[in-house]
């Protein structure tokens, strides 16, 4: 995207920003002028990521599944304010649903749904105080087209629902809430799965209109858009960014 001052003067928190998609989202927010707090559990990894991005990026290590740690972290942001919350952290368990215990399911829902809910709840006063408060949830095309993977699909579909509900509640306060639903993205976590299996590569070439997977920057761009003034009248929307996977048959 052009316009490096698009987010000048804004402050963002990106969860799961030590690597992969979260790191690229944080990088692009900084490129466009925002100050970005990078969240994750490992301080060393966050410090390295912040150093890689450079000026404008700072580490904020805490476990989003830990309620007290989340409360403490949000309290740290009160002095400087917060304009943009990107709920990027997500866990996945590719086992069949009969292999996943109730405890496993509860743990996954806690990270993929309950933690974003809690972060939004705690960040809401700061976002209301902003002139351009934004919440952007990273969901998945799995919520649109299920191919098994029941625990992950259910959690991301629930996050889409939460996006719409929060948009309705926070809209009167001027805060927009949207989601980005990526298709297949070539992150570190997915690289071996995508490139090491010929069947996957053939499936993507056949099923995706653009015939390939996405680079992380191609998902980060729409996040920058939704965080910017250009999307000031967009709320309650899930933006599918999948190269035409959902619509191509």
Task: Kindly name the residue from 62, 152, 213, 245 that is annotated as catalytic.
Answer: 152
Strand order, beta sheet including 134-138: 57-61, 35-40, 11-14, 84-87, 134-138, 176-182, 238-241
Task: Please name which of 235, 227, 84 lies closest in space to residue 163, comparing C-alpha atoms.
Answer: 235
- 134 vs 148: CA distance, rounded Å: 32
Angle between helices 115-129 and 150-170 (to 10 degrees): 20
Q: Using CB atoms within 10 A of its CB, is residue 120 exposed (0-12), middle (13-18) or buried (19+)?
A: buried
Q: Residues 207, 213, 215, CA angle at the centre, nearest 5°?
A: 160
**Helical H runs in the chain?**
20-31, 43-53, 67-77, 102-109, 115-129, 150-170, 188-195, 198-207, 216-227
- Answer whether 21's CB lies under 8 Å from 185's CB: yes
The size of the chain, in residues, is: 249
Is 245 a catalytic site residue?
no
Provide the annotated active-site residues: 152
């Amino acid at each position: 995207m052009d316009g490096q001052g698009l987010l000048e003067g804004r402050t963002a928190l990106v969860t799961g920003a030590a690597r992969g998609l979260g790191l690229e989202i944080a990088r692009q927010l900084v490129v466009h002028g925002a100050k970005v707090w990078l969240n994750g559990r490992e301080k060393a990894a966050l410090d390295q990521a912040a150093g890689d991005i450079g000026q404008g990026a700072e580490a904020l290590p805490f476990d989003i599944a830990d309620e007290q740690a989340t409360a403490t972290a949000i309290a740290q942001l009160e002095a400087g304010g917060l304009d943009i919350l990107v709920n990027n952290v997500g866990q996945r368990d590719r086992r069949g649903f009969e292999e996943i215990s109730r405890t496993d399911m509860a743990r996954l829902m806690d990270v993929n749904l309950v933690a974003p809910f809690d972060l939004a709840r705690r960040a809401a006063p700061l976002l209301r105080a902003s002139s351009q408060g934004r919440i952007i949830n990273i969901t998945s095309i799995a919520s649109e087209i299920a191919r098994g993977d029941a625990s992950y699909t259910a959690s991301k579909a629930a996050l889409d629902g939460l996006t719409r509900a929060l948009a309705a509640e926070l809209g009167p306060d001027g805060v927009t809430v949207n989601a980005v639903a990526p298709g297949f993205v070539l992150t570190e976590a997915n690289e071996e799965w995508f490139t090491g299996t010929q069947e996957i590569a053939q499936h993507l070439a056949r099923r995706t209109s653009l015939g390939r997977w996405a680079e992380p920057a191609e998902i980060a761009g729409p996040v920058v858009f939704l965080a910017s003034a250009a999307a000031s009248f967009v709320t309650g929307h899930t933006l599918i960014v999948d190269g035409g996977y959902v619509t191509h048959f």
